[in-house]
Amino acid sequence: MTEYERLVALNAALRKVLAHGAEERLRRIPGVRHVSIGLRSRANKITDELCIRVYVAKKRPASELSDKELIPREIDGIATDVNTPRRMKFSVDFTRYRPLKGGMMITNLVVGVNEAHTRAVLTAGTFGCTATRNGNGKTVLLSNWHVLTANLPNNANDQSNGEAIYNPAPDRLPDDIPLDILPYHRRNDDDVIAYIRRARITNRVDAGIAELDISSCCRCCGLDYRDEIIGLSEAGVPPTNQLHGLRAAVPGSRVFKVGITTGRTEGRVVTDSADDVTGHIGGRDYTLSGQIEISSSDPLASFSLEGDSGSVIVDEGGYAVGLLFGNFSEDNVTYANHMSDVCTEMDIHLNLVPPPHGTGAPAEVRRVTVPRELSPTGAELYAKARARVESDPAGRWLWAVAEVHREEIVTLVTGNRRVNVVWQRAGGPAIFAAALKALRAGDDETLPSPPDGGTLELALARVGAALAAHGSEALRTALARHREAILSAARGSRTLTELLANLQSTVEQPA
């Protein structure tokens, strides 16, 4: 029996006690607002003991309570623990991070004013993980409603649909922003990575999704994305940086998160049913119920701080269990939505990667990052690559063929799990990153090679086969017609000039 299975069994046994009359008797006590199963707290420290957590509006000394108001120390042989609802803080902050993976910073670049109306503020939060919309198969980033819609004049549920999401945020705001013009949008088209498609806050979730901008995130500017959370796995716990599944949070279990402020932290699920979790943002109070409460495993460090909102809560098996949305710093506790509720409300499924088998997880391909101020823009690199290819007649033919099917190919690579797995295993992201590095260095000739030592021809063949298996009839027809010519041109070619020369002798050029 695994630790997760053991905890599930223990929790089920306690819930059975509640269901057979204990909860009903506790709820009849005047002042009791909520009853749940969770870890017991002693001297403001979370223990390993599972108990029945009883929530009251305000703790009072036993001497002030009547006999009817006293909560028994145990009921049906199970210890009780008296708690009060918490007023948490919505986590907000801005920090510069790259590349686009779970655990990174995102912002809408809308400058607002603080609650005291004394200074301008720019809100940022954490890119939790990638997911896929059930309706159209589009790849999205998952975060919080309050992160995606921060400071927007109209940030009611789904009213911000279409607003841009950026990475990174500016290091600082100008000192002379007139407060009477706020809020206003600091637009920066080069840094757009996604567009909000759904953002909602209810009594169960604080969640939002933004569709990744294919034109800037897929193969023409270097802002690639990965189905992983950077730095999540440490000493094999969780097994890898990827999410391997989705399951319920269990009180007592170890959990982890990666956020933009505190990085990777470890905690324990205190309860999976915290009620009356209230926070204030945008001039309003919001109260959520049935939430996951988490305590830090390190008594000297917080599990989360401002800026970590949007982080995915992951258990030690690599399963996503929750979405972090706030913290209560006085008691060092964090709150998260149940991931199942988030997926239902957002109509998404998380981008999961099967756990590795054998001796261990595959080695991560190192990514090249270039300081933003020293790097050409994605548009410049795209224009440079296109001009070089189209300077040759064979290149013009190749580019024209690719453009006809580019949108479908991008959709398959980013939205179809089976195609994406082949793309990853063929070294597609690393090949593209190497090509971008060469372009930035002024080398528009050298062809990139797969990181596993294979050939470009083999990588193209593998990806082409996956596209043919899952693409439209038009794409399959084009691949069948041109596959051998393109693979023959790539065979043994070390430079773009060699490839185009080989292609020229194989393909009949249009007049």
176 C-beta neighbours (distance < 10 Å), count:
6
382 and 482 in a single domain? The answer is: yes
Write phi, then psi, for 207 (nearest 5 degrees): -145, 155
Asked if the structure places residue 367 within a domain, the reply is no
The b-or-e profile of 39-77 (16+ CB within 10 A means b, else e) is: bbbeeeebeeebbbbbbbeeeeeeeeeeeeeebeeebee
Residue in the block written with tokens 């569709």:
211
User: What tens digit of pLDDT does each residue of 446-499 get?
Assistant: 888 887 778 888 889 989 898 999 888 888 998 898 888 898 888 888 888 888
Q: For residue 209, give the amino acid letter.
A: I
pLDDT, residue 223, reads: 56
Task: Kindly state the percentage of the chain with pLDDT values over 70.
Answer: 85
438 and 331 in a single domain? The answer is: no
Confidence at 93, pLDDT banded by 50, 70, 90: very low
Tokens (6 digits) for 204 = 């169960």
State the DSSP H helix or E strand holding residue 403, giving kind and residue range, or none if neither: helix 393-415
Asked if the structure places residue 359 within a domain, the reply is no
> Which parts of 189-290 are beta strand (E)?
192-201, 206-212, 225-229, 245-246, 254-259, 263-274, 277-281, 284-288
Asked if the structure places residue 458 within a domain, the reply is yes
Model confidence, pTM: 0.61
Region 270-298 average pLDDT = 89
176 and 324 in a single domain? The answer is: yes
Q: Could you say which of 57, 83, 109 is where a domain stops?
A: 83
pLDDT, residue 498, reads: 87
User: What tens digit of pLDDT does each residue of 68-90 get?
Assistant: 999 999 999 999 999 887 665 54
pLDDT, residue 381, reads: 62
330 and 460 in a single domain? The answer is: no
Tokens (6 digits) for 91 = 């986590």
Region 288-307 average pLDDT = 88
198 and 256 in a single domain? The answer is: yes
Asked if the structure places residue 361 within a domain, the reply is no
pLDDT, residue 222, reads: 45
Asked if the structure places residue 13 within a domain, the reply is yes
Give the chain's domain count.
Answer: 3
Asked if the structure places residue 69 within a domain, the reply is yes
49 and 122 in a single domain? The answer is: no
Asked if the structure places residue 402 within a domain, the reply is yes
Which of the pair, 435 or 111, is modelled with greater confidence? Answer: 111
The answer for residues whose C-beta is within 8 angstroms of residue 232's C-beta and 6 or more apart is 102, 103, 238, 240, 241, 256, 258, 264, 314
94 and 72 in a single domain? The answer is: no
79 and 93 in a single domain? The answer is: no
Asked if the structure places residue 79 within a domain, the reply is yes
Among 91-100, 125-134, 321-330, the range with the most confident prediction by mean pLDDT is: 125-134
CATH code at 191? 2.40.10.10
Cis peptide before 168 (omega within 30 of 0): yes
151 and 202 in a single domain? The answer is: yes
Three-state secondary-structure class, residue 310: coil
pLDDT, residue 382, reads: 65
CB 420 within 8 A of CB 228: no
What distance in Å separates the CA atoms of residue 62 and residue 54, rounded to the nearest whole number? 15
Task: Tell me: pLDDT of 167 over 90.
Answer: no
Three-state secondary-structure class, residue 208: strand
Least confident of 49-53, 195-199, 322-326, 383-387: 383-387
Task: Tell me: pLDDT of 205 over 90.
Answer: yes
Q: What is the greatest pairwise CA distance in the chain?
A: 97
Q: Could you say which of 350, 381, 396 is where a domain stops?
A: 350
User: What tens digit of pLDDT does each residue of 244-282 get?
Assistant: 999 999 999 999 999 988 889 999 999 999 988 988 877
Mean pLDDT of the chain: 83
State the DSSP H helix or E strand holding residue 398, giving kind and residue range, or none if neither: helix 393-415
Q: Could you say which of 55, 83, 111 is where a domain stops?
A: 83
78 and 93 in a single domain? The answer is: no
Domain hosting residue 24, numbered range: 3-83
181 and 263 in a single domain? The answer is: yes
User: What tens digit of pLDDT does each residue of 327-376 get?
Assistant: 886 678 999 999 999 999 999 999 998 877 543 433 333 333 333 333 44
346 and 406 in a single domain? The answer is: no
